[in-house]
Structure 1
């Protein structure tokens, strides 16, 4: 199992932890399937009224798709099979509130998870970036989720600059990507306090409010996400060339923190 689930039946809060520390909590196909299954299960779990989502260890919250995952693709330039498309709670039709507790790096496909959380609380040591363009890949889904969470100019800068620039926790808070910054040791307690408050309210009212909030932007979000497969298929470099770029930059520190 690469996804740990801990439930507190008294508080109504569940903690979901990505547990692939050795891979910086990158998501392989098994992890993607486990996450989707957890969200579907929570739809029927009366003892789960709010969720905290985090990553194991201190180095990373999530670093997106595992580069060793083999994902066959259809021949059509208008279709892309993306295993991350179903890893978020909203993709599973779960309308119980999810709070992301971000520790360490959050990059690339991590924005699928941040994008479908109600809000995020960040460790002061966390950093946020999107490496796609550096490695010859289109940031499509990630850019859409960023644009939903951040001012357009900030979303564009983050999506386009690749590994050259990372957002600090302070900057992420300033632009609204995260709602609170804590010391590293206070991250999970802060997220649990917030989740406990949500779980203590009547769950029908909370879920209805979550659904109302998402309805304000869901039409535009779905229209934007529908364009992503074609943009990825047409704009990505061949996998071999991506791997060359990745290998040439591995271990480098070619970024600026802001």
Structure 2
């Protein structure tokens, strides 16, 4: 299993860990399905009242979809098969609060998970970036989710700079993507502490509040996501050219952190 779940019945908090450290916790199809199954199982588990989501290994929270995964796409620009659309808690109708604990890299498809978490706690060495444009791909779903958390200019810069620049944890905190900074290695304990407090409140009030906050931003998000399949189909380079760019940039110059 590439998703570990450790629940503490005494506190009502479950820690969900992406456990593919050798792949920087990138999401392959089995992992995506496991995540969806975990969220849906929590809907019927009254002992779990709050969740912390993190990544194993220390180098990365999640680096998005695994590049080894090939998902054949429909020929129509109005349709898109995206394996990450169902990896988040809200996509699986879970309205229990989820706190993300980020250490190391969080990039690309990781924003599907961060965008559906209630808030983010990050270690000081965490970095955030979106590689899509560098590889000839449109960042559509990721930016739709990020736009609910950060100012327009910061979302645009993150998406357009691609692999050339990484947003530091400090900058992510300043612009609102991260709600709490800790020393490296302290993010998980801090997230668990928050989750324990939340789990101690009446669960109906907590879940109703989660749903209310999500509803406040849902309309704009749905309109943006409705355009995503066409924008991706029209703007993405072919898979072979994407792979060429990916390999070239893996050998290429580094990046700067701001």
| TM-score, length basis structure 1 | 0.99
Aligned equivalent of 1:238:
238
For residues 185 and 163 of structure 1, the distance between their equivalents in structure 2, rounded to whole angstroms, comes to: 25
Aligned equivalent of 1:45:
45
Q: Map of 1:1-258 to 2, 5 A cutoff?
A: 1-258=1-258
Q: CA RMSD in A?
A: 0.8
For residues 204 and 253 of structure 1, the distance between their equivalents in structure 2, rounded to whole angstroms, comes to: 51
Q: How many residues align?
A: 258
Which runs of 5 or more structure 2 residues have no equivalent in the other structure? none
- CA deviation after TM superposition for structure 1 residue 220, in Å: 1.1
For residues 31 and 75 of structure 2, the distance between their equivalents in structure 1, rounded to whole angstroms, comes to: 26
Please list the CA deviations of residues 96-152 of structure 1 after superposition, one character each: whole Å capped at 9, or x if unmatched: 000000010000000000000000000111000000000000000011111111000
| TM-score, length basis structure 2 | 0.99
Structure 1 runs (4+) deviating above 6 angstroms are none
Instruction: Verify the 8 A CA contact 2:78 2:230 in the aligned structure 1.
Output: yes
Please list the CA deviations of residues 157-180 of structure 1 after superposition, one character each: whole Å capped at 9, or x if unmatched: 001110111000000000000000
For residues 254 and 76 of structure 2, the distance between their equivalents in structure 1, rounded to whole angstroms, comes to: 35
- CA deviation after TM superposition for structure 1 residue 184, in Å: 1.5
Which SS does the other structure have where 1:217 is aligned?
helix
Which runs of 5 or more structure 1 residues have no equivalent in the other structure? none
Please list the CA deviations of residues 198-229 of structure 1 after superposition, one character each: whole Å capped at 9, or x if unmatched: 00000000000111111111111111111111
Which SS does the other structure have where 2:191 is aligned?
helix
Inter-CA distance 133–207: structure 2 relative to 1 (3 Å threshold) = same
